[in-house]
Amino acid sequence: MYERTEPAQHPLKHARKSLGLSQVAYARLIARELKEELGFEPQVRNHHQVLRWESGTVPQRGVQRAISRIHGISDGELERHGWPNVLYLAIGDRALLNEPWTPLGAINALNSTARRARAPRSFAEVSGPVLRGQVHAALAALRHPQPISARDQGPLVDLDTLPHIETRIEALELQEVSSPSTPLALYYGAVTEHQLVTCHLTRSGYDNKTAAWLLSLASRTAAVCGWLSICLGEYAAATSHYLAALRAAAATGSRKQAVSCMAELAFLQTEAGDPQDALFLVRAARAAGSRLSPRRRAVLYAREADALARLNDLDALRALELAERTLALAAPYELEVSLLNIDADWLAERTGRARLHLGQHREALRHFATILDTGSVSDLNTIHSPRATGRLLHPVDAQLAIGEIDAAAQTAHRAIAIAGTLPSALAHQYQKRFAIHRSQSPVNDLLSLLKEHQALHETTPH
């Protein structure tokens, strides 16, 4: 039940789709490329081989070279980047993952993700050695910041517009606590602001001080796009947005923003089924920020607990104890917008998640009591966080694990009521959980409703 939340696409699948080819056609193309090199036609026509490679099986070196050449990538690039990292050169994540860790590299990476942001499913999964390499580079950039250059091309940025942009960004950041708007509406609003800021960075003229201001704003808009992608269940897109935000934070020397990005990336890696990478990110975040606020330290302890629980490590409970002690030290009023909802209820839910992954399902439900409370969820006067719909997946897991099928279906209906229209990726997650129970009437009705929500997103223009 606790496998990868949403299997993100392997970069090979993205590379193949960028050519508009089916797996059969792609296999034939690889076979032709190999024939030119070997002088005979190898047996690569079977689409099952492509399916295995797209599922993570590493192809032979000759096949790697053939695939690289198909996408215009040299053997030298293959040697330098390795498999499957080299595939990022064939898809839109090239700038994000291969630009130097300089202010200009950050601008190019931000521009790359901003241009693709309106199609969140166009992003490939970034994890493992590729992700770790990005984080190591971020830590190095924070230790050795480079000067941010002015730009003397294009019309000068009107400095009177930047405070207005900053005000709108802060309004978007505040939506994480609670919002009457749907996550999808908020996401496209955030993308508009992100594209506006990156447009200034790439097309306008500005001095050094304004460049730093714009980079700081771009880091914030990228992070907002990241957490709203989480709300939509689009975790690959969220990871790319947070990596772009991390680049901008490193370029401006903002350790606080860098730590925030790493904390969210840790959450994403745990949800994707990579808890070891999540623990690495927690350690990196602590290395990046030595003077963290109690709430930020509590977040990192909670991320650590979640990852340890996925590894069935009871040290997760110790991490939760440290989170509780640290949170008790926090001031009653929080100045950092992203930490406004870090309170006792938030920690109870995180404790429930850890207990769930440790197999303590009834204990987990006890900690989920606040978000499962019918009154607080169904009250029309209650405005929920855009993340509420995704957060209810974990109580559903606990209820299904102990056989409370009807209660789980009711929780799923509650999630739909909160969302209005359930994002397609989240609808898929609920469908996966209930598929084996479709013979039961309440579940069958729920699955039909979830299918309608997916169809609505597929037919509604954005």
Q: Which residue has the tokens 């490590």?
A: 313
**Residue 183 DSSP label:** H
- For residues 363 and 241, give the distance between their C-alpha atoms in angstroms, rounded to a whole number: 35
Confidence of residue 196 (pLDDT cuts 50, 70, 90): very high
Strands in 396-436 per DSSP E: none
Dihedral sign for Cα atoms in the order 279, 280, 285, 290:
positive
Task: Kindly state the tokens that stand for 363.
Answer: 């204990």
Q: For the chain, how far is it from start to end, CA to CA, in angstroms? A: 33
Q: Give 206's strand partners.
A: 151
Is the Cβ–Cβ distance between 111 and 241 less than 8 Å? no
pLDDT at 38 over 70: no
Average the pLDDT over 348-367 and give the result: 96
Q: Give 205's strand partners.
A: 156
pLDDT at 370 over 90: no
Q: Does 424 reside within a domain?
A: yes
Confidence of residue 14 (pLDDT cuts 50, 70, 90): confident
- For residues 67 and 72, give the distance between their C-alpha atoms in angstroms, rounded to a whole number: 9
pLDDT at 105 over 90: yes
Computed over its alpha carbons, how large is the radius of gyration of the chain?
23
pLDDT at 365 over 90: yes
Residues 55 and 97 in one domain: no
Q: Give 151's strand partners.
A: 206
Residues 168 and 126 in one domain: yes
Residues 212 and 252 in one domain: yes
Average the pLDDT over 177-206 and give the result: 92
- For residues 436 and 426, give the distance between their C-alpha atoms in angstroms, rounded to a whole number: 17
Is the Cβ–Cβ distance between 13 and 54 less than 8 Å? yes
Residues 41 and 162 in one domain: no
Q: Does 5 reside within a domain?
A: no
Quickly count: other Cβ atoms within 10 Å of residue 400's Cβ.
Answer: 20
Is the Cβ–Cβ distance between 125 and 87 less than 8 Å? no
The whole-number pLDDT of residue 95 equals 72
Residues 349 and 424 in one domain: no
Q: Does 324 reside within a domain?
A: yes
Q: Which of 59-68, 345-354, 435-444, 446-455 has the lowest mean pLDDT?
A: 446-455
Coil vs helix vs strand at 235: helix
- Give the number of domains in the chain: 4
Is the Cβ–Cβ distance between 244 and 215 less than 8 Å? no
Burial of 289 (0-12, 13-18, 19+ CB in 10 A): buried
Give me the domain span that covers residue 187.
Answer: 93-272
**Biggest CA-to-CA distance, the chain:** 73
Average the pLDDT over 1-28 and give the result: 71
Is the Cβ–Cβ distance between 22 and 13 less than 8 Å? no
Dihedral sign for Cα atoms in the order 277, 285, 317, 229:
negative
Is the Cβ–Cβ distance between 288 and 20 less than 8 Å? no
Is the Cβ–Cβ distance between 220 and 378 less than 8 Å? no
Beta-carbon contacts of residue 282 (< 8 Å; ≥ 6 apart): 262, 263, 266, 300, 303, 304, 307
Residues 200 and 249 in one domain: yes
Residue pLDDT, tens place only, 205-242: 999 999 999 999 999 999 999 999 999 999 989 999 99
Q: Which of 99-103, 126-130, 381-385, 420-424 has the lowest mean pLDDT?
A: 381-385
Average the pLDDT over 52-61 and give the result: 87
pLDDT at 279 over 60: yes
pLDDT at 276 over 90: yes
Task: Kindly state the tokens that stand for 403.
Answer: 């056989």
pLDDT at 51 over 60: yes
Dihedral sign for Cα atoms in the order 205, 240, 256, 392:
positive
The whole-number pLDDT of residue 42 equals 60
Nearest to 203 by CA among 118, 119, 108, 116: 108
The whole-number pLDDT of residue 270 equals 95
Q: Does 285 reside within a domain?
A: no
Residues 175 and 199 in one domain: yes
Q: Does 3 reside within a domain?
A: no
Select from 59, 76, 91 the last residue of a domain. 91
Select from 358, 389, 415 the last residue of a domain. 358
pLDDT at 168 over 60: yes
Residues 111 and 253 in one domain: yes
**Residue 151 DSSP label:** B
**Residue 127 DSSP label:** -
Residues 117 and 75 in one domain: no
Q: What is the DSSP string of 359-380?
A: T-HHHHHHHTHHHH-HHHHH-T
The whole-number pLDDT of residue 378 equals 44
Residues 225 and 204 in one domain: yes
Residues 335 and 365 in one domain: no
pLDDT at 437 over 80: yes
pTM over 0.75: yes
The whole-number pLDDT of residue 82 equals 83
Residues 85 and 108 in one domain: no
Q: Which residue has the tokens 């490679």?
A: 53
Q: Which of 175-189, 241-255, 366-380 has the lowest mean pLDDT?
A: 366-380
Beta-carbon contacts of residue 459 (< 8 Å; ≥ 6 apart): none
Q: What type of residue sits at position 399?
A: Q
pLDDT at 45 over 70: no
Select from 358, 384, 412 the last residue of a domain. 358
Q: Does 278 reside within a domain?
A: no
Q: Does 147 reside within a domain?
A: yes
Is the Cβ–Cβ distance between 400 and 359 less than 8 Å? no
Task: Kindly state the tokens that stand for 48.
Answer: 């099952």
pLDDT at 383 over 70: no
The whole-number pLDDT of residue 381 equals 44
Quickly count: other Cβ atoms within 10 Å of residue 431's Cβ.
Answer: 17
